[in-house]
Amino acid sequence: MATDAPPPSKAEHRLPPTEEFVRVQESAEFGELRHSYRSFAFPLTVAFIAWYLLYVLLSNFAGDFMGAKLFGNINVALVFGLAQFLTTFLIAWWYSRHAATKLDPKAEAIKSRMENGA
């Protein structure tokens, strides 16, 4: 019975030693990448959690306000709930743009240098 060997990869890359990972992690370039990620993700996460908690708190403690009809059977709570979905999709879209323009090029440069032994 013949065993199927995995197909050869397009380019063989060496696995960098642990010391190289540590060196890269301590580099200014990696610090800049980490700063770019954190300065975007952390404030946005805090803002979204605050927005979500506002919705939950208003739903629990401001029933009259949340139940106020805006038009027809549409009330404030429904609009806030739908806005939660909208902001979730907007944040995902915004993060994807941020990652594609700011994070991915820096990460790819670091990865290429590590794989090529530079």
The tens digit of pLDDT for each residue in 65-112 reads 999 999 999 999 999 999 999 999 999 999 999 999 999 999 999 988
Q: Are 103 and 36 in contact (CB under 8 A)?
A: yes
| Structure tokens that stand for 102 in this block | 């700011």
Is pTM, for the whole model, over 0.85? no
1 is a domain residue: no
Average pLDDT over residues 28-50: 95
Backbone angles phi, psi at 10, to 5 degrees: -65, -40
Q: How far apart are the first and last CA of the chain?
A: 43
Q: What is the pLDDT of residue 9?
A: 56
pLDDT above 80: residue 51 = yes
* 4: three-class secondary structure by DSSP: coil
Q: What is the pLDDT of residue 118?
A: 57
The tally of domains found in the chain comes to 1
Range of the domain at 92: 21-115
14 is a domain residue: no
**Range list of β-strands (E), the chain:** 69-71, 74-75
33 is a domain residue: yes
